[in-house]
Amino acid sequence: MSDLILPAILLSSLLPGLIIFTLPEESVRLRTTLNLGGAVVKLLLVALLFFHVAKREYTELRLPLLPDMELVLRADALSLLFLILSAFLWFLTTIYAIGYLEDSPNRSRFFGFFSLCVSATTGIALAGDMVTFVIFYEALTISTYPLVIHRGTPAALHAGRIYLAYTLGGGVVLFIATVWLRAIAGPLDFSPDGVVASLDPALHGSLTIIFALLILSLGVKAALVPLHIWLPSAMIAPAPVSALLHAVAVVKAGAFGIIRVIHDIFGIGFSAELNLLFPLALMAAFTIIYGSIRALSQNDLKRRLAFSTVSQVSYILLGVAMATPLATIGGLVHLVHQGVMKITLFFCAGNLAETLGIHKIDEMDGVGRRMPWTMAAFTVAALGMIGLPPLAGFISKWYLGLGGLAAGQPWVIIVLIGSTLLNASYFLPVLHRIWFVPSRQDWPSSTLRDGRETTWALLIPPLITAMLVVMLGVLAHSVGSALYWVELIATREYGP
């Protein structure tokens, strides 16, 4: 029975997606049922799996692909971290997208690819070896492309081209590196000690090159500078897509891949032995600062958020590259925390765009009076991004800082401080505008019957995620929180 959970989780989004493709545009109810049904079923299955994994019952499924090559699905603690994040946020984003795309054309196509995208993300989370990971990683690349260009404007198509050029370019490099590594090291099952540590020292040169190739190719999706160009331009996509793209699927897939490569393919000890991690840490640090600096000068809200993502995702990499238990905790927990915070911000940006037609920051004067709930969620998430205690972002930063000290690299603190200052200087002015500047526009007043600021479908998801931002921080040490789970992973990774 438990063997079937893994494929069932994959199919819970894949099947509805495929069915949705074939539905005519008018069958809203059936489509919505399929979407939400799939999301709920997936959530339940993931919860079931959670209890299995928490009891250390790892399930695994192997399917032969070629002689000596298998599709391996396996649920370990790390997979589950990513899986829970994606399943939960997918559920919210589905609700949000249903509200967001009300009455817009091509919804069947949109939700179809949307489900494919999530299936691919699920596959990435559940991948038990490098080959499987690559398969789902590329599937994600391609299923996201139609979402990026969904609007069909020339600008969207242009962004799509850039997206495709970068991600597929990264994809082929990843492909080569994986084939090469497979040819050197044999089967590439993810295992806590890595699979390459025992190889002939004569191969260490090749391994270093492979490591660099893997990091660079995965770094495209993780938006490491200078491979981040696609991310801000992909902002042209509809808000639910941006939300998912930034918070869950694409950038996280890159970061998750880098974690897998470092932890489960090369092994932390071996990577550190080959001095592979320090350059990565430097790259991540540079990205953190660079992304924030670029975010400062953006007037388009979503672009500013995009550069903020560029910066924030590298926290994860920084934590992983420090290779100490505390830093790993900080990095991994940021995987979740950043996801929840960023999705909130994008939901709110989407609400502004959809309800009031606001896209630019200088149009946001006093919007807090018109949409107080949305903007409250925005504020919480933005403060979390800055890293104010006790919000989620603070927890990540605290552990990252401690981890940096433990790794004997106190410069990390300077990076964290610099980033916090920069984050503050691109978020706080926005918050100031929202709450304290009198509004210059007269927005259409709410047309909803009870005078709500916007529809429930658009309002509930950001409120839930904003609440999560608070709870992930305030209840960080409770059983079941992201931090709790990540500490479990770190203990397993490094030993008690």
Binding residues among 19-48 for other proteins as defined by CB under 8 A: 21-22, 25
Site string for other proteins, 212-241 (x = CB under 8 A): ------------------------------
* Residue 223 DSSP class: T
Interface pick for other proteins out of 30, 44, 153, 297 (rule CB under 8 A): 153
Which of 280, 320, 383, 468 is close enough to bind other proteins by CB under 8 A? Answer: 383
Reduced to 3 states (helix: H, G, I; strand: E, B; else coil), residue 129 is strand
Alpha carbons 177 and 207: distance in angstroms, whole number: 10
Among residues 19, 48, 197, 474, the one that binds other proteins under rule CB under 8 A: 474
Return the SS3 of 485: helix
Question: Which residues, numbered 254-283, are part of the site for other proteins (CB under 8 A)?
Answer: none
The DSSP result for 36-83, as a single string, is: HHHHHHHHHHHHHHHHHHHTT---EEEEEEETTEEEEEE--HHHHHHH
Residue list 406-435, contact with other proteins (CB under 8 A):
406, 410, 413, 416-417, 420-421, 424-425, 428, 435
Would you count residue 162 as binding other proteins (CB under 8 A)? Answer: no
User: Binders of other proteins: how many residues, by CB under 8 A?
Assistant: 85
Judged by CB under 8 A, which stretch of 82-90, 260-268, 307-315, 474-482 contacts other proteins?
474-482
Name the phi and psi angles at 443, rounded to 5: -75, 155
Beta-bridge mates of residue 360 = 300
Taking the least distance from each CB to other proteins, the nearer of 376 and 488 is: 376
- Asked if residue 310 lies in contact with residue 294, where contact means CB atoms within 8 angstroms, the answer is yes
- Strand, helix or coil for residue 228: coil
Q: How far is the CB of 23 from other proteins (least distance, A)?
A: 10
Under rule CB under 8 A, which residues in 106-125 are in contact with other proteins?
106, 108-109, 112
**Residues in CB range of 265: below 8 A, 6 or more apart:** 130, 181, 188, 190, 194, 195, 196, 214
Among 4, 47, 172, 209, binds other proteins (CB under 8 A): 172
121 vs 117: CA distance, rounded Å: 6
Residue (of 319, 323, 315) closest to 420 by Cα position: 315
Does 372 interact with other proteins (rule: CB under 8 A)?
yes
Q: Which stretch binds other proteins (CB under 8 A): 35-43, 154-162, 240-248, 355-363?
A: 154-162
101 binds other proteins (CB under 8 A): no
Any contact of residue 142 with other proteins (CB under 8 A)? yes
Nearest to 396 by CA among 419, 377, 364: 419
| From 401, 409, 454, 468, residue interacting with other proteins (rule: CB under 8 A) | 401
Nearer to other proteins, 1 or 479 (CB): 479
| Choices 33-41, 45-53, 179-187, 245-253; region in contact with other proteins by CB under 8 A | 179-187
Task: Check if the beta carbon of residue 143 is closer than 8 Å to that of residue 116.
Answer: yes
Q: How far apart are CA 331 and CA 310, in angstroms?
A: 15
50-69 positions binding other proteins, by CB under 8 A: 63-69
Instruction: Determine if residue 445 is left, alpha or beta; phi over 0 gives left, psi from -120 to 50 gives alpha, anything else beta.
Output: beta
Q: Is 135 in the site for other proteins (CB under 8 A)?
A: yes
**450 part of the interface to other proteins, by CB under 8 A:** no
Is 353 a binder of other proteins (CB under 8 A)?
no
Among 398, 434, 463, 464, contact with other proteins (rule: CB under 8 A): 398
